[in-house]
Amino acid sequence: MLPTFFDRWQLFIGVAVLFLCAQGNSLGASHVTIDSNQVLVIDGQKVFPIGFTKPPPPEAKTPDGKNGIAELASAGATFLRTGGPWSEESIRVEEKFLDAAASNHMYCLPYLREHAVVKSAQDETTLRKFLARFKDHPGLGAWKGDDEPEWGKKPLEPLVRAYQIIKEVDPNHPVVIIHAPRGTVDSLRKYNVTGDIIGTDIYPIGYPPGGHSVLSNKTLSLVGDHTKIMMDVAGGTKPVWMVLQISWSGVLKPGKTLRFPTFPEERFMTYEAIIGGARGLIYFGGDNLGSLNPRDRELGWNWTFWSRVLRPVIEEIGSKSPLYPALVAPNSALPIKTSGAPGLEFCAREVGNELFVLACKREGATAKIEFNGLPKTISQGEVLYESPRTVSAKDGKFTDWFGPFEVHVYRFQK
């Protein structure tokens, strides 16, 4: 029997209601939590934040005419650090950033700037209005609180009051505090009460090298040193996000020599931070005018560095990569150890029937490293991003060569 007009109309209404419900769910406010492994969880989905300070403008184009934010998302990036200084115009731009993030399955990390400190009733009123304006946008992922508060010797009370207001008005989004590569574990730890996620920025590339840090080490492995410091500051109670270099003032100020990380350098810094425990990465300086060639200056972002260096790195760790599930997994309890040379750093993650081992070597001589403690049933592993290379395992052991600042990523079927 053919459906009547009434039957067809009911079917149309039913489909329309389902569509609108789906749209409502997809356009609703994001709900962000942190799990017991310090992994960010957005609307029930585990996320490894990969972002930029600052990203290209929301309507910017790449050299080949693509939307800039869509280009970042296509590589597997997930976050945009946006914001301020705040005015009606910058608020309108922030709304465009949030819309662009949401439409590309990304999230914004707005920098609260002057609103991150509450010293008066007027400050509190302004912060509450500001939060209310953005807190329900589906493109919001987290708030960035005060920048480098320990280095700036910021009083705690105004920062704590701002944090309390943020959590009261918007309990669904965490607060991120990024420190300078300064201070001690104790002096940094006292600021833990002002945020939910902590981290530091470290930019080791420049002439002379290592000038951004006061540590005695002046090599690329400064990234690992400062990641370890922040892990000690967090004490297992908060996620650590690291901010890594595109460009910074130390290569842009008068009298300085412009220098960018190479692909191997950026790759090493990225993996060393992850191996050290970082649960998120932000890349800094893509919008610094002094670092842009004439073409990129017109486009508003460092697309040259992106295509030559950063996109290939992010494609290895991004949300579409074979490694990504391991980046949001807990550390493995397998008793894996290494021998053969000092300075080898690694972490192991298990995802279903797969075992991932991420390893990098600090400065020093090239060496052959033995890994042991793997399941004895494993016989062969793929070396990701070095196809067709593999490693053979026997009795829970395998060996491989590592040069200074070299990275290998292994995937085994258990």
DSSP 3-state of 254: coil
215 domain-assigned: yes
252 domain-assigned: yes
Q: Is the pLDDT of residue 132 over 60?
A: yes
pLDDT of residue 81: 98
Mean pLDDT on 330-345: 97
Shared domain for 249 and 382, answered yes or no, is: no
Shared domain for 260 and 119, answered yes or no, is: yes
pLDDT of residue 18: 34
Q: Is the pLDDT of residue 5 over 90?
A: no
Give the tens place of pLDDT for each residue, 7-57.
443 433 333 333 333 333 346 899 999 999 999 999 999 999 999 999 999
Shared domain for 283 and 384, answered yes or no, is: no
Q: Determine whether 86 is exposed, middle or buried from the number of CB atoms within 10 Å of its CB (0-12, 13-18, 19+).
A: middle
The domain boundary, picked from 287, 308, 327, lies at 327
Shared domain for 40 and 174, answered yes or no, is: yes
Give the tens place of pLDDT for each residue, 349-403.
999 999 999 999 999 999 999 999 999 999 999 999 999 999 999 999 999 999 9
CATH number at residue 139: 3.20.20.80
Shared domain for 43 and 168, answered yes or no, is: yes
The domain boundary, picked from 301, 327, 353, lies at 327
In angstroms, what CA-CA distances link 140 with 23, 79, 101, 288?
17, 9, 8, 24
Tokens 């932000």 belong to which residue? 282
The domain boundary, picked from 327, 352, 386, lies at 327
Give the tens place of pLDDT for each residue, 165-219.
999 999 999 999 999 999 999 999 999 999 999 999 999 999 999 999 999 999 9
Nearest by Cα to 358 from 281, 283, 268, 279? 268
Shared domain for 101 and 186, answered yes or no, is: yes
Identify which has the larger pLDDT, 4 or 345: 345
Domain count, the chain: 2
* Phi, then psi, of 333 in degrees rounded to 5: -90, 5
Give the rounded percent of residues in the chain with a pLDDT score beyond 70: 93
Shared domain for 283 and 359, answered yes or no, is: no
Shared domain for 83 and 217, answered yes or no, is: yes
Model confidence at 299, in pLDDT bands (50, 70, 90)?
very high
* Phi, then psi, of 261 in degrees rounded to 5: -65, 145
Shared domain for 303 and 352, answered yes or no, is: no
Q: Is the pLDDT of residue 73 over 60?
A: yes
Shared domain for 296 and 350, answered yes or no, is: no
Which one-letter amino acid corresponds to residue 174?
P
pLDDT of residue 9: 39
Shared domain for 225 and 277, answered yes or no, is: yes
16 domain-assigned: no
Enter the tokens of residue 81. Answer: 């650090």
Which one-letter amino acid corresponds to residue 296?
D
Average pLDDT score over the chain:
94
pLDDT of residue 372: 98
pLDDT of residue 27: 61
Mean pLDDT on 331-353: 97
Say if residues 63 and 50 touch (Cβ distance below 8 Å). Answer: no
DSSP 3-state of 282: strand
Shared domain for 229 and 291, answered yes or no, is: yes
153 domain-assigned: yes
pLDDT of residue 162: 98
Model confidence at 102, in pLDDT bands (50, 70, 90)?
very high
pLDDT of residue 26: 46
- What are 269's strand-pairing partners? none
6 domain-assigned: no
Nearest by Cα to 175 from 239, 99, 85? 239
CA 186, chain centre distance (Å): 25
12 domain-assigned: no
10 domain-assigned: no
CATH number at residue 355: 2.60.40.1180
Say if residues 412 and 357 touch (Cβ distance below 8 Å). Answer: yes
Q: Give start and end residues of each alpha helix (H) in 118-255.
A: 121-134, 156-169, 185-189, 222-234
Model confidence at 84, in pLDDT bands (50, 70, 90)?
confident
5 domain-assigned: no
In 10 A of CB 27, how many CB atoms?
12
Residues in the chain: 414
In terms of C-beta distances under 8 Å and separation of at least 24 residues, what long-range contacts does 298-301 make, across chains too? Answer: 299/56, 299/60, 299/61, 299/62, 299/63, 299/68, 300/56, 300/57, 300/60, 300/68, 301/55, 301/56, 301/57, 301/60, 301/68
Domain containing 300 equals: 32-327
Mean pLDDT on 138-153: 98
In 10 A of CB 312, how many CB atoms?
15
